[in-house]
Every structure is written in structure tokens, then in C-alpha cells.
Chains A and B, each alone.
Chain A
Amino acid sequence: MSVNRSVVVYGINNFRVEKRERPEPGFGEVLVKIEYSGLCPSDIKIIRHGGRLVRYPVVLGHEMAGIVEEVGEGVKGIEVGERVNVAADIYCGTCKYCRAGRENLCERPLTFGYNIDGGHADYLLVPREGVPKAIFKVPDGLSLEVASMTEPVACVVHSMNAGKVSPWRLCSHSRRGAHGSPTRPSSQDLWSK
């Protein structure tokens, strides 16, 4: 049996690192060996205040990157050994918000570290509802450590959109060579949704 160290929260201000069994991926599921996970302020809130989505006991953590360890029967397009980032949320895809393209407001999300076991562990089991939509392949050249920061960056991308910060201003500034970002994007297709 492989050791699966996991940060388990049992209730408010009640958590510990436990050695659990390594999960076995069933039909359609993917097992990821986590290399890095980020400590998020939300983790601290769950420990100290709980949350409406939280189901105890739960393994904490929703910012994570690692390597595919094993895939269950029926999984296609995801291979053992691939470097991946797993999104925090598995949106249902069928509720009125998901159908309206506002899946971040999903009525029935599965969220790692809240209502399903998360990434502050040696292994993360991605349920079939999240395969493959919540699994993102990490590009070559990107360290898994920095890749584990994708979730907070995604939240801030959403914040930029909520604030209607216009990317088109960057394009016009960049053409004039002023006020560019620290490293100019090489392709405008980044801005297309």
C-alpha cells in the first residue's frame, strides 16, 4: 500500500495530517500524484470558519499540480505520466447557470477540498464527473510548482472580467510600445475567449 499523507479537516479548528490508503481509480476516474499544492486563504477559512459547501471530514486543498499516476477503465485522452493541473471545481454542466455559460455559479459543483477530497495529499482522485474537463495539461517548460498557482490566477482572470478591464487597451498600447506588460504576449489569440 502506498502512503497517502492527507490534511484532513474534521470540523472547525479540528484538522491533522493522516496517513491514508492510496485511492484506486474506478471507471472513468483518474488518480494524480500531487507534487505541489498551494495554501489558499480559503483553506484557512475552512479550518477556522467552515463554509456552506464544506462536508466533513474532507481532505483540504484546491490548488494543485502533479503527475497522472493511474487512469481508470474507459478514460481516454489522459495518459499515465502526464503533468497536469486539476481545477478546483467540477461544474455539473447541466444546471441553469452552467447552461447559461456561467458555470462558476453552478448549483451542484464538486469542489476539491470542500465537498470532495482535495489536493493537500500525496494522491488526488478525480471523479469521473471531472474527467477530462477539470484536468489541464501543464505545458512543457512550466514547473509544476508554479503550475499549482493556476487556480488563484484563474480566479483573478475572472476578477479582471468582472471588473471589465479591457485587454484591447493592452493591444493598442503594445503597438505603440508603451505601458506593456512585463513580458509582452506573443499572440493576440490569448485574448479570445
Chain B
Amino acid sequence: MGLLHVLLAKIYGASSIAVLGLVDKKLKLAEELGAEKLYNRNNYPNIEDILRENPDGFDKVFLTVVNKTTLEESLRLVKKGGRVVIFAGVPAHSVSFSLDPNIVHYDEVSLVGSSSYLYVEYAKALKFVSMYQRELSKIISHRFNIDEFEKAVATWDDKENSVKIILTR
């Protein structure tokens, strides 16, 4: 979903896109889709190093992986007046994190959720899918026949190699 955020952010007019991740293969794909700054967290374990290269922070931060670390780091990465979007869903009560209201108040940072879509957004998505078919095809990493569903699930767990998995008939 991080890769789709790169593509859509580009379509929606982001002037510069940074991606923080753990897998070089996915970061390379992100670059192909339009991301300019790539941070493999294995090489950038400290958020301070990323902030040093981006001293103003980021206008928008989209969380496609939601856990205590990414939540707390997102509030350090976002700039004054910026927005943090919790995109990925997590099971109820499975994650908790610290929120400093000082940042929300004085920096006027917004923390919002994004769930599902409106039908009007769905229709728009279908137009984008049509226009960016070539880019979206790059994201498909594996195809399995529906009979091989268990193999597809096992492949999904292989984070180093799997991106989008499609079931064929």
C-alpha cells in the first residue's frame, strides 16, 4: 500500500515524496513510481538522521504500517500544520502509543484516519487504474491459481520478495 501511496501522491501533485521502508526491492519500486527520497530503516535506524536531511519535516505523513514505533515517529516527521494519516487498519486494542498534546496544540498537527472509500472515489480510482496500468502492473510480484491459495498466503509472508499477489482462475 505504500507503493500505491507513492503513485497517488504523485498523481495528486506532491512535489517531493519520501518513503521509509525495510526492503530495498520495494524502495526501488517506489523510486520507479516517483519517490525521490528513499530511506531503508536498516541503514537509517535513527529518525534523527532522516530529520537532519529534512529539517522542516513533511507536510503529510501516511502510515501504511501502523505500530507504536511508526505512530510515534510520524509525529516527529510531520511539519507544523501538517497531517498524519493512519491508513492501515489494526485489530482493536492491539496498538497503543504516546501522543504529546503539545505537538498537536502548538504545531497544529492533525492526526486522522482513512478507511475504505466513497463510491465517487471508487469511480475515480477506476479512471486512474486505466491511466496508470503500466505502473500498476509493476507492483504485481506473484500470480497463483486460486487452487494454490495456501502457497499465496505463504508467499505473502515473504516480505523481501512479495509485493502484490494476484489469484488467477
Q: Is A36 a contact partner of B167 (Cβ separation < 8 A)?
A: yes
Residues of A within 8 A of B34 (CB): 181-182
Q: Is A154 a contact partner of B122 (Cβ separation < 8 A)?
A: yes
Residues of A within 8 A of B164 (CB): 38-39, 149
> Which of B116, B120, B130 contacts A142 (CB under 8 A)?
B130
Q: Is B117 a contact partner of A155 (Cβ separation < 8 A)?
A: yes
**A-B CB contact pairs (8 Å), 19 listed:** A7-B146, A17-B147, A38-B166, A38-B167, A39-B164, A52-B92, A142-B133, A151-B122, A155-B116, A156-B8, A157-B125, A158-B116, A159-B5, A159-B8, A162-B114, A163-B60, A163-B112, A165-B12, A173-B15
In this complex, how many residues of chain B approach chain A with their Cβ under 8 Å: the count is: 63
Q: Is A121's CB within 8 Å of the partner chain B? A: yes
Interface residues of A in 37-80 (CB under 8 A from B): 37-39, 41-42, 44-45, 47, 49, 51-52, 61
Q: How far is the CA of A168 from the CA of B60 in the complex (A)?
A: 16
Q: Is B117 a contact partner of A157 (Cβ separation < 8 A)?
A: yes
Q: Is A81's CB within 8 Å of the partner chain B? A: no
Q: Is B136's CB within 8 Å of the partner chain A? A: yes
- Distance in Å from the Cβ of A117 to the closest Cβ of chain B? 14
Q: Is A147 a contact partner of B129 (Cβ separation < 8 A)?
A: yes
Q: Is A157 a contact partner of B124 (Cβ separation < 8 A)?
A: yes
Q: Is A91's CB within 8 Å of the partner chain B? A: yes
Q: Is A149 a contact partner of B15 (Cβ separation < 8 A)?
A: no
> Which of A5, A35, A45, A151 contacts B91 (CB under 8 A)?
A45
Q: How far is the CA of A98 from the CA of B83 in the complex (A)?
A: 25
Size class of A's contact patch? 35 or more
- Distance in Å from the Cβ of B83 to the closest Cβ of chain A? 5
Q: Is A162 a contact partner of B122 (Cβ separation < 8 A)?
A: no
Residues of A within 8 A of B129 (CB): 142, 146-147, 149-150, 153
- Which of B22-30, B49-57, B95-103, B148-156 is near enough to bind chain A? B148-156
- Distance in Å from the Cβ of B136 to the closest Cβ of chain A? 5
Q: Is A101's CB within 8 Å of the partner chain B? A: yes
When A38-B165, A170-B13 are in contact, do A160 and B127 touch as well, CB less than 8 Å? no
Residues of A within 8 A of B130 (CB): 139, 141-142
Q: Is A153 a contact partner of B165 (Cβ separation < 8 A)?
A: no
What 9 pairs between A and B have smallest CB-CB spacing?
Answer: A170-B13, A169-B13, A154-B125, A162-B114, A104-B116, A154-B117, A159-B114, A39-B165, A153-B125
- Distance in Å from the Cβ of B150 to the closest Cβ of chain A? 8
Q: Is B12 a contact partner of A170 (Cβ separation < 8 A)?
A: yes
- Distance in Å from the Cβ of B130 to the closest Cβ of chain A? 5
When A104-B116, A182-B135 are in contact, do A150 and B122 touch as well, CB less than 8 Å? yes
Q: Is A5 a contact partner of B146 (Cβ separation < 8 A)?
A: yes
- Distance in Å from the Cβ of A142 to the closest Cβ of chain B? 5
Q: Is B115's CB within 8 Å of the partner chain A? A: yes
**Binary contact track B99-121/A, C-beta < 8 Å → 1, others 0:** 00000000000001111111111
